[in-house]
Structures are given as structure tokens and as C-alpha cells.
Amino acid sequence: MPIVNVGMENSGNVDLYYEDHGTGKPIVLIHGYPLSGASWEKQLPVLLNAGYRVITYDRRGFGQSSKPTNGYNYDTFAEDLQKLLTQLGLHDFVLVGFSMGGGEVARYMGRYGSKDVSKAVFISSVPPYLLKASDNPEGVDRAAFDGIQTAIKADRYAFFTEFFKNFYNADQFLGKRVSEQVIQSSWNIAAGASATASLACVPTWLEDFRKDLARVQVPSLVIHGDADRIVPFSASGQRTAKLVPGARLVVIKDGPHCISWTHAEEVNNALLSFLKEEKRLELTTPA
């Protein structure tokens, strides 16, 4: 099983499981909560057929990676990513983050810069700053996140059942763009995640990525559904596109949070179009 060691907890290794397929320009796909690298099922064959090398991995605490009781913060997540990239010897790669994964993209470049990154993609992502504050009135009230933590502590399995209804906007798309079996599969993956990670990741959604986004100096694409009930478009994707220099915004009409499944064709077309473009970045100069 391909793994990269990212640390230790007492006597045990903390290892990340990853998959590395294809040849060509490397594309690193970073999954969202509470899933795993397997959640890129609709994107992997499309990218491979287009001639890219595709790397997916499971965040610590999720999928087939180790499940430690520590390290659930974005500085550690970014360091984990950096260790994976280093082990694989990657250069001139593309980072694509979905939901929580967009935080890794932002924090990685905030900490390590954009030197080896050729492009960045944020899909339904948590940046720039989800928490409502005096200098961030577009954010979400803290009470919403406190409620999520309370529900996870009480019964995380029941929480996941309700969570995935809004993850896919099942009331609108069940039987049309998503099946009961897909939702059940997502629930199964979430149930197999670390109980510690399931709870500890929630506060990380409140991370302030505004300074990180200011350091993104590569061509960037933001894709977001305008009906996202998990990470509201107005609080995230819409603002990220304004904060990243020269970023392009693609809005998926009626798209829920998991547009990578429900609107896979639209997402894949936008992604492939962006990847095929010449590398260029038009920086805007403030007036």
C-alpha cells in the first residue's frame, strides 16, 4: 500500500495513504470532509484520459490513512501535503482542493509559496474565512458550527445522515443527479473515519485564509455551486475569486456542495479547459 510517513504518535507511525496514477503533468486532488481520496471518482478517469498524472491521498484521520488523535489543524495539514509532494519529487504541479481541501491549497501556498505550483483550483472550498466577525460580516455565525460539534458529539453517525442530505441537496437531486447508493457510500466512508478527526476538523473550518490567498501567485480557478448549503457561495467561493489575483470564477447554477459528483460534467469541463490553457497570470494593481 503506498504511504508517506508524516510523523509519529507515541509508538505508532502517522502515515498517509495515497494513489499515484498516469503520466504527464501532475495533478494533486485533495478531498473534503468527511470523505477520502476515493471521492474524486468522477474526475480521476477524465484527467487520466486527458494525459495527466493524478495523485489522490487521504487526509490524516480519514480513509486509509492513520487515525491519530492530534494534528488536526491547517498548518499540520499543509505540512502533511508538503511531505507527500517531497516524497513523490513533484514539481510544476497543480493543486486542486474540494471543500476542506481548498484550505490545504491556500495554507500550502501561504506557508511554502507558489514556486513549484503551476495552477490552483478551489472547488466548493472553505476559504477565505467562514466565521462571521466584525471584519468579516459575510461569514457564518459561530452558533452554526457549535451546533455541528454538539451533534457530532451526541451521535456522529446520525449527524452524517443529515449532513449528506445537504451535501448533495438530496431533496432536489435524489434519483436525478445522485442515487441513494452514492449517499450510502459517502456515509460508509464517513463512518469509517476517526471519531476524533470527525469532531476536531470542524473548528478548522473557521480558519482565516485571507493572508494565504494573498500569496497565491499562480493562475487560479474557483468553482462553486450557488445552492451550496454546506459552504455558502456568498461567504466563500465568491469572495475567494476576488481575493486571489487574477482568479477565474465558474458558478454552477443550482449546484449543491458536492458539485464534483452531481454536476461532474460541468466541473470537469471547467477544470480541463483551465488546465489546458497557457500558464499566465494577470495581476491586478489596486487603484
Q: What does the pLDDT look like over 117-153, one tens digit per residue?
A: 999 999 999 999 999 999 999 999 999 999 999 999 9
Instruction: Answer for the pair 227, 255: CB distance below 8 angstroms, yes or no.
Output: yes
Structure confidence at residue 144 (pLDDT): 96
Structure confidence at residue 245 (pLDDT): 92
Q: Does residue 286 surpass a pLDDT of 50?
A: no
Q: What does the pLDDT look like over 177-223, one tens digit per residue?
A: 999 999 999 999 999 999 999 999 999 999 999 999 999 999 999 99
The residues facing 30 across adjacent strands are 57, 97
Q: d(Cα 237, Cα 126) in Å, to the nearest integer? A: 8
Structure confidence at residue 285 (pLDDT): 41
Collapse the DSSP code of 9 into the 3-class scheme (helix H, G, I; strand E, B; otherwise coil) and give the result. strand
Positions marked catalytic: 99, 228, 257
CA distances to 197, 206, 241 from 111, rounded to whole Å, are 23, 18, 20
Q: d(Cα 143, Cα 139) in Å, to the nearest integer? A: 12
Structure confidence at residue 287 (pLDDT): 38
Instruction: Specify the pTM.
Output: 0.96
Q: How many helices (H) and strands (E) does the chain have?
A: 11, 8
DSSP 8-state code for residue 230: S
Q: Using omega within 30 degrees of 0 as the cis cutoff, is the peptide bond preceding 34 cis?
A: yes
CATH code of the domain occupying 3-276: 3.40.50.1820
If pLDDT is split at 50, 70 and 90, which confidence band does 171 have? very high
What are φ and ψ of residue 124, in 5° steps? 50, 40
In order, the DSSP letters of 36-99 are -GGGGTTTHHHHHHTT-EEEEEPPTTSTTS---SS--SHHHHHHHHHHHHHHHT--SEEEEEET
Which sign, positive or negative, has the C-alpha torsion 59, 64, 65, 68? positive
Residue 35 C-alpha cell reads as 470523505
Q: What does the pLDDT look like over 40-68, one tens digit per residue?
A: 999 999 999 999 999 999 999 999 999 99
Q: What does the pLDDT look like over 98-123, one tens digit per residue?
A: 999 999 999 999 999 998 999 999 99
Alpha helices (H) in 50-192, listed in sequence order: 74-88, 100-112, 142-167, 170-173, 180-191
Q: What does the pLDDT look like over 222-238, one tens digit per residue?
A: 999 999 999 999 999 99
What dihedral angle (degrees, nearest 10) is formed by the CA atoms of 32, 36, 42, 47? 90
Interaxial angle between packed helices 142-167 and 180-191, expressed in degrees from 0 to 180 and rounded to the nearest 10: 130
Q: d(Cα 113, Cα 231) in Å, to the nearest integer? A: 26
